[in-house]
Amino acid sequence: MFLKPETRNSKILHIVRHGKALQDYQYINDYDRPLVEKGIVNNVTMAKQLFAKYPAPDLIISSHAARALHTAHIFAQTMGYSHDQVQVNTRLYLDGEREAICILENLSDEIENVMIVGHNPDVSYIANTYAGRCIDPIPTSGVVTIRFKTNRWNEIGKANADLLGFLKPDKS
């Protein structure tokens, strides 16, 4: 079930975990691991489902890791964004949930709706913190959407928040 997002007097956050990536990576750096075919297919599916229910975000911020950045570009392409509109932030690459929260709390208040694309455990921690309850760990390609009842990003930690949706790819 999804709640309709009321964007007036609120902020919307889409938290996306990157798609399934190459697991055997002994000869490449972790941040260079590419998406596998299942990750690409699941990202396309999740992006279509998300944007059938919600307006496109004003801003997409992604980790610089290959699997996260590719995920962000798939979501961007699905909603008609150009690839150069995806903002890269290296602090979303396993720097901890506190760094990601700091990024969000320092956003311009002109931005109503934002998407971050990152990694576990950070994205699941952020979702659980803001949702106000324990939700499942976010699976690869999973998306959590939260509405904050505030006009200011620097107040989201104190604002009432609603879990609007939790999209998970099929396990097939």
Among 146, 139, 147, 100, CA closest to 120: 139
Task: Please tell us whether the domain made up of 11-167 is placed in CATH 3.40.50.1240.
Answer: yes
pLDDT digits (tens, 9 = 90+) for 73-128: 999 999 898 888 899 999 999 888 889 999 999 999 999 999 999 999 999 999 99
Domain range annotation of the chain: 11-167
pLDDT at 40 (0 to 100): 97
Secondary structure E strands in 57-139: 59-62, 86-88, 113-118
pLDDT digits (tens, 9 = 90+) for 28-44: 898 899 999 999 999 99
Q: Where are the alpha helices (DSSP H) in 54-96?
A: 66-78
Q: How far apart are CA 15 and CA 79, in angstroms?
A: 16
Q: How far apart are CA 16 and CA 139, in angstroms?
A: 9
Among 86, 136, 92, 101, CA closest to 13: 101
Q: How far apart are CA 33 and CA 163, in angstroms?
A: 31
**133 secondary structure, DSSP code:** S
Q: For the whole model, what pTM was predicted?
A: 0.92
Q: How far apart are CA 94 and CA 61, in angstroms?
A: 14
Q: How confident is the model at residue 26 (pLDDT cuts 50, 70, 90)?
A: confident
Residue-wise DSSP of 15-35: EEEPPPB-S--TTS-GGGPPB
